[in-house]
């Protein structure tokens, strides 16, 4: 995730040409596992509990994405040396995830801006990397060792808790943005990718290792850079992840209506990263209007358009990509979290109203479509 206004009436009228009901039940199967991240709707334990209850019931996969950074200054091979809050974050996720769920794990190696090395994970959250880590690059042996040790330690915590490793491990979330933002740093990242893949794969042979591509306008210079960059790391990727938010990060007009997506909005991945299995590692669609003047975003949204997007996503993932997994970022709208903890910031507002349950705990019609697909055989 990263940093055309139409009248609301148009959004409402779209209901006349697209039912807000679910797809008709079918006996056919689905190629992908389905799940959510445990992103909370509010900064409370009740919200955390509610979200875990929901995602444990409404998917066969749970996605755990650690974006806070790497505890470089700890003994990354020793879980007990981590700050107590880091231990609590990891242990809490493990305790809240229902047994028997397939798990996707992502540990970010990039910072939030996707233009440099991951920040430091401290007892109070994310902080700048201190010396000497602040001057190190992706190809530094100490950086590579710290990331590998931290990842293997977290993976072992999952294995101990559940008797099995996560099925998927993403070590390069939205790596395409580094290819675009800083080609020189991406060159160093190719060394990082080789060493991380080789060492973690040796320790965990069954683990499907991933990087993800943040899709943008098909045929753009950005996607050409992603295609060229992927050739340099393709040998270190088992499954290619897809991050896509077409209402925000594509360049076409009237972006809130998924009918206006380019024909190859999703299948462009077949050209960018050919010959690999695929999975959607994060996506979502607004169900309300979105206005962020600082980003030039003024997008009409509606519940029916969200449902239409989800139905199209399912169809193309199943029939064109034969995707292995599909992760919807947030189950609930997170208005309270956004206003109380995230200070009403512009960036997280992009995804605030993409839940399948709204801020008043009302189920949106896309949830019925989700459940209908979940009932299909995998």
Per-residue 3-state assignment (H helix, E strand, C coil) for the chain: CCCCCCCHHHHHHHHHCCCCCCCCCCCCCCCCEEEECCCCCCCCHHHHHHHHHHHHHCCCEEEEEECCCECCCCCCCCHHHCCHHHHHHHHHHHHHCCCCCEEEEEECCECCCCCCECCEEECCEEECCCCCHHHCCCCCHHHHHHHHHHHHHHHHHHHHHHCCCCCEEEEECCHHHHHHHCHHHHHHHHHHHHHHHHHHHHHCCCCEEEEEEECCCCCCHHHHHHHHHHCCCHHHCCEEEEEECHHHHCCCCCCCCHHHCCCCCCCCHHHHCCCCCEEEEEECCCCCCEEEHHHCEEECCCHHHHHHHHHHHHHHHHHHHCCCEEEECCCECCHHHHHHCCCCCHHHHCCCCCCCECCCCCECHHHHHHHHHHCCCC
Whether the CB-CB separation of 69 and 126 falls below 8 Å is answered with yes
End-to-end alpha carbon distance in the chain: 28
Query: Is residue 279 within 8 Å of 240, Cβ to Cβ?
Result: yes
Mean pLDDT of 181-199: 98
Q: What domains does the chain contain, in order, with CATH numbers?
A: 8-374 (3.20.20.80)
Mean pLDDT of 223-251: 99
pLDDT band for position 302 (cuts 50, 70, 90): very high
Q: What is the pLDDT of residue 250?
A: 98
pLDDT above 80 (res 52)? yes
pLDDT value, residue 3:
40
Tokens representing 217 are 């306008």
Model pLDDT, residue 63: 99
pLDDT at 8: 29
pLDDT of residue 9: 29
Q: Return the exposure string of 155-170: e unless at least 16 CB atoms fall within 10 Å of the residue's CB, then b.
A: bebbeebbeebbbbbb
With cut-offs at 50, 70 and 90, classify the pLDDT of residue 21.
low
Q: What is the pLDDT of residue 28?
A: 87
pLDDT at 332 over 50: yes
Cα 187-193-199 angle, rounded to 5 deg: 145
CB-based contacts of 225, cutoff 8 Å, min separation 6:
176, 179, 180, 183
CA gap 155, 153 in Å, rounded? 5
Give the mean model confidence (pLDDT) for residues 62-84.
Answer: 96
CB-CB contact of 265 with 194 (8 Å): no
User: Shortest CA distance to 210 belongs to which of 197, 229, 195, 227?
Assistant: 197
Q: Which band of pLDDT confidence, cut at 50, 70 and 90, is reported for residue 4? A: very low
Using alpha carbons, select from 73, 117, 68, 62 the residue that is nearest to residue 88: 68
Contact 300, 7 (CB under 8 A): yes
Rounded mean pLDDT of 187-195? 99
Is residue 352's pLDDT more than 80?
A: yes
Contact 237, 171 (CB under 8 A): no
In the predicted model, what is the mean pLDDT of residues 313-337? 99
Is a pLDDT exceeding 70 seen at residue 228?
A: yes
Mean pLDDT of 174-181: 98
Query: How do residues 247-290 score in pLDDT, each as one tens digit?
Result: 999 999 999 999 999 999 999 999 999 999 999 999 999 999 99
SS3 of 72-127: the string is: CCCCCCCHHHCCHHHHHHHHHHHHHCCCCCEEEEEECCECCCCCCECCEEECCEEE
Percentage of the chain beyond pLDDT 70 is 93
The answer on pLDDT for 25 being more than 80 is: no
pLDDT above 60 for 116: yes
Residue 211 has pLDDT above 60, yes or no: yes
């Amino acid at each position: 995730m990263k940093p055309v206004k139409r009248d609301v009436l148009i959004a409402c009228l779209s209901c006349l040409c697209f039912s807000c009901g679910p797809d008709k039940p079918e006996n056919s199967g689905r190629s992908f596992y389905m799940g959510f991240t445990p992103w909370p709707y509010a900064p409370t334990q009740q919200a955390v509990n509610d979200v875990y209850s929901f995602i444990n019931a409404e998917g066969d996969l749970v996605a755990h994405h650690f974006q806070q950074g790497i505890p470089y200054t700890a003994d990354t091979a020793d879980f007990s040396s981590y700050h107590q809050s880091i231990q609590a974050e990891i242990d809490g996720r493990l305790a809240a995830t229902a047994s028997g769920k397939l798990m996707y794990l992502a540990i970010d190696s990039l910072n939030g801006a996707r233009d440099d090395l991951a920040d430091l994970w401290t007892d109070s959250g994310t902080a700048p990397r201190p010396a000497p880590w602040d001057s190190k690059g992706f190809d530094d042996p100490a950086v590579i060792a710290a990331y590998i040790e931290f990842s293997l330690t977290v993976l072992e915590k999952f294995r101990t808790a559940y008797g099995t490793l996560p099925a998927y491990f993403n070590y390069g979330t939205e790596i395409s943005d580094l290819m675009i933002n800083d080609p020189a740093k991406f060159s160093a990242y190719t060394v990082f990718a080789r060493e991380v893949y080789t060492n973690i794969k040796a320790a965990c042979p069954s683990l499907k290792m991933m990087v993800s591509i943040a899709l943008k306008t098909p045929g753009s210079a950005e996607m050409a850079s992603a295609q060229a960059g992927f050739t340099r790391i393709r040998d270190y990727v088992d499954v290619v992840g897809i991050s896509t938010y077409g209402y925000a990060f594509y360049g076409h007009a009237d972006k809130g209506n998924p009918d206006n997506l380019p024909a190859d909005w999703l299948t462009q991945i077949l050209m960018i990263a050919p010959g690999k299995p695929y999975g959607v590692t994060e996506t979502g669609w607004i169900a309300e209007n979105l206005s962020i003047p600082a980003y030039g975003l003024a997008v009409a949204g509606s519940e029916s358009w969200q449902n239409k997007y989800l139905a199209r996503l399912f169809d193309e993932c199943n029939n064109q990509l034969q995707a292995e997994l599909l992760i919807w970022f947030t189950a609930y709208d997170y208005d309270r979290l956004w206003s109380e903890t995230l200070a009403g910031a512009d960036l997280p507002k992009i995804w605030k109203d993409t839940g399948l349950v709204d801020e008043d705990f009302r189920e949106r019609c896309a949830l019925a479509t989700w459940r209908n697909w979940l009932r299909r055989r995998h």
